[in-house]
Structure 1
Amino acid sequence: MPFYVSPEQQMKDKADYARKGIARGRSVVVLQYDDGILFVADNPSRALHKISEIYDRIAFAAVGKYNEFENLRLGGVRYADVNGYTYDRRDVTARGLANLYAQTLGTIFTETNKPYEVELVVAEVGDTEASDQIYRLTFDGSVADEHGYVAMGGQADAVAEALKARFEEGMSLSAALRAAVQSLEAQDSDRHLEAKALEVAVLDRNREHRLFRRLPAVRIEELLGDSAG
């Protein structure tokens, strides 16, 4: 006898499955600062990146299953390269990438037995803080236009609550990094995150051409120790 599961129950089971998988991962924080957008991941691995450049002014951050979000990242890079080459580099936007990812994730969630266990942020730095774009995408293809800060993975609610208390508009890079790290540490009162356990990158609006850059451990230590910032 065939086993029947209602569509509503099937969607709920898939959503619960994806949420549990994402919650098992380590957290990532994305927040605006005075000169751009900061990405901070609780990630001691030097080989498996959670934060990556997609295009000139656009970066990608993810939590969940590495092989799944890496497939999405590569698809986004291909999309950006083809559109930038075929049309104009200015036609490649975070909004366009977010729409692409939303369609892909939505299709996978509804049409396959196993949803992707991923959550993403696609961010584009603008000429001013007001023109920055940050889009958060969940496993079912839902898109949210975020402002200020985003926390994903692990105990995301606890991290977001800590960020809410610490975030201020126009923060310096060092102040934003300290706020991000302290918020990540809020998941566990006994946890102290050192520079070597962090993956940190920025989209710096003051740079030319490619605005994405990774921060080495030495620079992270300097910024965390800069009480003047």
Structure 2
Amino acid sequence: MAMQFYASPEQVQRDRSEYARKGIARGRSAVVLTYEGGILMVAENITTLRKISEIYDRIGFAAVGRYNEFESLRRAGVRMADLNGYSYDRRDVTGRGLASAYTQTLGAIFSETQKPYEVEICIAEVGATPEADELYRVTYDGSVMDEPGFMAMGGQAEAISNVLRERHDTAADLTTALALAAEALGSVGGENGQARQLGPKQLEVAVLDRRRRGRTFRRLADAALTTLLSGDHDVPDKDLGGVDAAPPSPAEDKPTVSAASEDAEGKDAQPKDAQPKDAKPKDDKPKDDKD
């Protein structure tokens, strides 16, 4: 009789953790930190696939690891936020509530399935002041941590965090905060341990702007990102970018009459209730049976 293979629960958990950590370490890192105007999210990304996205009005999402897995988590978070905001109130959608939901989902996947998700995500909610900003780190096993103003994710997160810890300042402006994030990401991964200089094409950048009402998420790219990385502080606010899917602008010269009605007018169409010219008027009086 064949012997059944046995592994202790502790060994299974260790194997799953090691598998997930190796998968996350193969990807590029991301940084999230607070600054005077809001929350800055920067990821090293050379593809067109997004690692940073908007979840709700004042809530952002950043992730590292396997793209198809954290993308499914992002879409689920958007649906949950939209449903709660529509059913109750938009103020009831919070970063803490979303982080709690992600914790339950990732914890169940890690404990109950054969393969854990190879992801690490950040849920960021911008507040009225830097002290009110919230950063939640959710790891592959469902663990959640409230980070104090900055965090780094990825295989070399510890080395990047050391750079951020030394120079992070909540009173810094956007240009200074972006320079720090780019320097921290470039401090690892170079040849022979040398630092790298990351350019606009290697970075994906977005902010949660506390000065905006409603949707605070803004994606920085192209000329605005190049200008900020060069150290220039004079970037017009209107050029800093916008949301990924802004409401469509109203159409110009929108017709007020349908094409069908114009065709009908061209043919001198008559109303349904109109009578032909030769038709005799109806006699609404009841007929006399004696006649």
Q: CA deviation at 1:163?
A: 1.2
Alpha-carbon shift at residue 154 of structure 1 (Å): 3.0
Q: How big is the shift at 1:228?
A: 6.2
Q: 1:219 to 1:227 in 2, by over 3 A?
A: closer
Q: Which amino acid aligns with 1:214?
A: R
Higher strand share: 1
Amino acid aligned to 1:125: V
Pair 1:82-2:83 in alignment? yes
Separation in 2, partners of 1:148, 1:217? 27
- The Cα offsets for residues 33-53 of structure 1, whole Å up to 9 and x where unpaired, read as 00100000000112x100000
1:24 aligned residue: 26
Counterpart of 1:223?
A: 228
For residues 204 and 113 of structure 1, what CA distance do their matches in structure 2 show?
A: 40
The one-letter amino acid paired with 1:59 is G
SS of equivalent residue, structure 2 residue 20: helix
Q: C-alpha displacement at 1:192, in angstroms?
A: 1.9
Deviations 1:5-36 (A, max 9, x none): 00000000000100110011000000000010
Tell me, yes or no, if structure 1 residue 56 matches structure 2 residue 57. yes
Gaps of 5+ in 1: none
Structure-2 residue corresponding to 1:39: 41
Deviation track 1:94-153 (CA, whole Å, cap 9, x = no partner) reads 000000000000000000010000000001001111111110000000000011210001
1:186-215: CA deviation from partner (whole Å, max 9, x where unpaired): 102252211111100000001121000100
Partner of 1:3: 5
Tell me the SS of whatever aligns to 2:223.
helix
Pair 1:106 & 2:107 matched: yes
Residue aligning to 1:73: 74
Task: Select 1:210's aligned residue among 201, 215, 233.
Answer: 215
In the superposition, the TM-score normalised over structure 1's length comes to 0.97
2:253 paired residue number: none
Task: Give SS of 1:141's match.
Answer: coil
Could you tell me how far apart the structure 2 residues matched to 1:62 and 1:217 are? Answer: 22
TM-score of the superposed pair, with normalisation by structure 2? 0.77
Amino acid at match of 1:208: R
Closer, same or farther in 2 for the Cα pair 1:167/1:190, shift >3 Å? Answer: closer
- Say if 2:206 and 2:217, in contact at 8 Å, map to a contact too: yes
CA distance in structure 1 between the partners assigned to 2:179 and 2:27 by the alignment: 21
Answer yes or no: is 1:138 the counterpart of 2:143: no
The match for 1:199 among 188, 197, 204 is 204
Amino acid across the alignment from 2:88: Y
> Compared with structure 1, are the counterparts of its residues 78 and 207 closer, same or farther at alpha carbon in structure 2 (3 Å cutoff)?
same
Q: CA 1:17–1:80 in 2, change beyond 3 Å: closer, same or farther?
A: same
Amino acid at match of 1:211: T
The alignment's C-alpha RMSD in Å is 1.2
Q: 1:217, CA displacement in angstroms?
A: 2.5
SS at match of 1:67: helix
SS of residue in 1 equivalent to 2:140: coil
Partner of 2:130: 129
Contact map agreement 2:130 2:170 (CA 8 A) in 1: no
Matches within 5 A, 1:144-155: 144-155=145-156
Amino acid at match of 1:14: R
**Contact 2:104 2:142 survives alignment (8 Å):** yes
Identify, as 1 or 2, the structure richer in helix: 1
Decide which moves more: 76-85 or 151-160.
Answer: 151-160
CA 1:190–1:123: 2 relative to 1, 3 Å: closer
- Residue 81 of structure 1 deviates from its aligned partner by 0.5
